[in-house]
Amino acid sequence: MNNKIQNFREERNKLNERILAKENNASIMKRIYGLDTFAYMERGTGLNSKQKEIIGLATSMVLRCDDCIKYHLEKCFELGVANDEMMDIFGIANVVGGTIVIPHTRRAIEYWELLNNERPLPSPFDRETKEKRYKEVTQSLKSLLEGIENQTSVMATINEVLISSIPYFYWVGFYLAEEKHLTVGPYQGTHGCLFIRYGEGVCGRAATTRQSIIVKDIQKLNDYQTGNIGKLHITCDPRCKSEIVVPVINRNNKLIAVFDIDSLHINAFDEVDKHYLEEIIKIYF
């Protein structure tokens, strides 16, 4: 990965953790971070994530915060903002903010091009890097979620921490177990399907069997599935190439949700992901 991108991501994560680890200011900062997550979260009404990130980017440019600009460029990239859309964002930010925004636009175009040159997408990590990153994620969650009981806040925070720390994650979210079907809950990424029937798709099958499922190559599964065996996989975003779903079973042994992660990369998930994701779910539900 390009050094500028890697340094930015690592420094941001490391320093965020240091802020959150300081107990005397933790409660205010934690709330501010939580509010930030909430503000950009897609909630099924109002603006979608991509629109929110575009606003976040334009306003960060007008306020001339290079770190904020980089962060929103990354999110816009993940959410599929196209080059000509990006040029419109730059244009509007410069019209509103004036020519003083031009130097920030220079740095923004450089970072945007670096992100685009990163294609093909970031590969899944090797085993060692995966384990290291999951341990860091587990540690961040521990400091962020201490004493938090609200299930939605826990789900939203897990989503945010994972998607911003693990580059091969593209869609991360929960489907809630309701009487008749699974209903989409907190998630980060492009539009999720709103309902999934029990027994259908990867999520519905993980819910029924109460077992984690890894799909290494979604296309192969789609090619294999035929009308008479029912839906083994449900396509929400055709760009997704592999998927893992972990059932969320609470301490009373009740299935309350499934935790679904998609990647744009074939074969992104393995036993290491399964192990750590199941651990995270066991800790918080």
User: In this chain, which of 42, 74, 260, 273 binds ligand SME, going by CB under 6 A?
Assistant: 260
Least spacing, CB of residue 269 vs ligand SME, in Å: 13
Q: Which of 242, 221, 243, 241 is nearest to 232 (CA)?
A: 221
- Based on CB atoms, which residue is closest to ligand SME, 62 or 236? 236
Q: Give the residue nearest to ligand SME (CB).
A: 201
What is the nearest approach in angstroms of ligand SME to the Cβ of residue 225? 10
Q: Is residue 78 near ligand SME by the rule CB under 6 A?
A: no
Q: Write the interaction track for ligand SME spanning residues 103-132; mark x where CB under 6 A is met and - where it is not.
A: ------------------------------
Judged by CB under 6 A, the number of residues near ligand SME is 15
Establish if 167 lies at the interface with ligand SME (CB under 6 A): no
| Residue 42 binds ligand SME (CB under 6 A) | no
Smallest separation (angstroms) from ligand SME to the CB of 183: 12
Report the alpha-carbon distance of residue 3 to residue 238 in Å, rounded: 30
* CB contact at 8 A, 246 and 278: yes
In the set 26, 92, 148, 234, which binds ligand SME (CB under 6 A)? Answer: 234
Q: Smallest distance from the beta carbon of 281 to ligand SME, in angstroms?
A: 17
Range 185-214, binding ligand SME (CB under 6 A): 192-193, 196, 201-204
Q: What is the distance between the alpha carbons of residues 266 and 218, in angstroms, rounded to a whole number?
A: 8
- List residues binding ligand SME (CB under 6 A): 171, 192-193, 196, 201-204, 233-234, 236, 240, 243, 260, 262
